[in-house]
Amino acid sequence: MDFKLLPLEIPSDEPFKNDALNRQSSIEFLTSLVEELKGPFVLAIDSPWGTGKTIFINMWKAHLELNNYICIYFNSWESDFTADPLIAFLGEIENFVKKTDPEDTEFKHSFDKAKKLRQV
């Protein structure tokens, strides 16, 4: 007999409703840290397999969106079949732009220029 856990529900209006591991304090701390940073940065969430990184990221994303941040979720494992992961990542950004910003805005114009640079 196989047992498989159902995905944890993360309500968009209450991201921490089903949080049995008290991730809220860590997420709020990281949110305040990110708010203080100026300019580009890289943040790594590192933990052994099966310790809840994906749930943590999905809760953080819901928390950020609840606070009017724009978020794009990209799971690199879902596209590890491609030789160039940047193509899959740019595709995810393009899908987001088409869905949320269909008008000819400055961001869309800049993104189109970036895609052309990648083709060179």
Which range marks the domain in which residue 92 is found? 72-120
Torsion 8-65-49-88 (CA) sign: positive
The verdict on 89 and 53 lying in the same domain is: no
- 81 or 19: whose pLDDT is higher? 19
The number of domains in the chain is: 2
Query: Considering the chain, what is the average pLDDT of its residues?
Result: 86
Distance CA 65, CA 52 (A): 20
Angle between helices 85-100 and 106-119 (to 10 degrees): 160
Distance CA 76, CA 115 (A): 19
Each residue of 19-45: pLDDT tens digit? 999 999 999 999 999 999 998 888 999
Max mean pLDDT among 18-27, 67-76, 81-90 falls in 18-27
The verdict on 14 and 60 lying in the same domain is: yes
Distance CA 42, CA 23 (A): 21
Counts for the chain of helices (H) and strands (E), in that order: 4, 0
pTM (2 decimals)? 0.78
Instruction: Give me the pLDDT at residue 46, please.
Output: 93
